[in-house]
Amino acid sequence: TQLLEQSPQFLSIQEGENLTVYCNSSSVFSSLQWYRQEPGEGPVLLVTVVTGGEVKKLKRLTFQFGDARKDSSLHITAAQPGDTGLYLCAGATGREGGFKTIFGAGTRLFVKA
Amino acid sequence: DVKVTQSSRYLVKRTGEKVFLECVQDMDHENMFWYRQDPGLGLRLIYFSYDVKMKEKGDIPEGYSVSREKKERFSLILESASTNQTSMYLCASKFGGELFFGEGSRLTVL
């Protein structure tokens, strides 16, 4: 069974602080995605990483895929209250992620103004 | 923009009732999915469909069934609701590796 473990489960920080969220697995994935879910909404895709060692930047968010394609991290610089939400990592196997995507349990981030 | 619409945002049902959760997508995507989301467990796949009238079991199909009579519509059915099916249910369609989710249906079974 493929599992994705996220840490920490919960994070409460002050506006302006930096943070890193981790997603780890013993399985190899062809791609790994990060989604953000706000209260009362469905998850929305932030980024997909497909190459081992790949780093992608999305404004203040930096995503990295591990060299062995088993883990990923999300780093947020100078967090803002608008970053508050549930961050989910999701791993897929096969071309275009096949039919099944495995989700981690999520990291709930709260950024205080 | 892709739109995935779930028919009910909130439902309260009694144990033993039959429950229908409807999902419609407007982008002609072939693949559609039903997940349930519970605190600390993330999203778990119940069923998915890769074409009309086709369905495949996900990781937790027990107690659920699905119907896909038209490409745009994927329905989740609880034949006899139980309290352990109280959860948030998320429908999604998929294209190019990306999942597009609806807003979710929060079901409470009393």
Number of domains in chain B: 1
Interface check A3 vs B, CB under 8 A: no
Number of domains observed in the structure of chain A: 1
Q: Which of B30, B43, B55 to mutate to test the interface with A (most CBs of A within 10 A)?
A: B43
pLDDT for the residue numbered A96 = 52
- Inter-chain CB proximity B99 and A90 less than 8 Å: yes
pLDDT tens digits, A4-63:
999 999 999 999 999 999 999 988 888 899 999 998 899 999 999 989 999 999 999 999
pLDDT in tens, A54-104: 999 999 999 999 999 999 999 999 999 999 999 999 998 765 545 678 899
A residues 65..104 contacting B (CB < 8 A): 88, 90, 92, 96-97, 99-101, 103-104
Binary contact (B103, A41; C-beta < 8 A) = yes
φ, ψ dihedrals at B2, nearest 5°: -70, 135
Looking at chain B, the number of H-run helices and the number of E-run strands are 0, 12
What is the CATH classification number for the domain harbouring A86? 2.60.40.10
Residues in chain A: 113
> What is the domain extent for residue A67?
5-112
CATH of residue B13's domain is 2.60.40.10
Minimal C-alpha gap between A106 and chain B (Å): 6
Domain that holds residue B98: 4-109
pLDDT of residue B62: 96
Contacts of B42 in chain A (CB under 8 A): 4, 88, 103-106
* Residue B22 burial (CB count, 10 A): 16
* Integer Cα distance of B18 and A32 in angstroms: 37
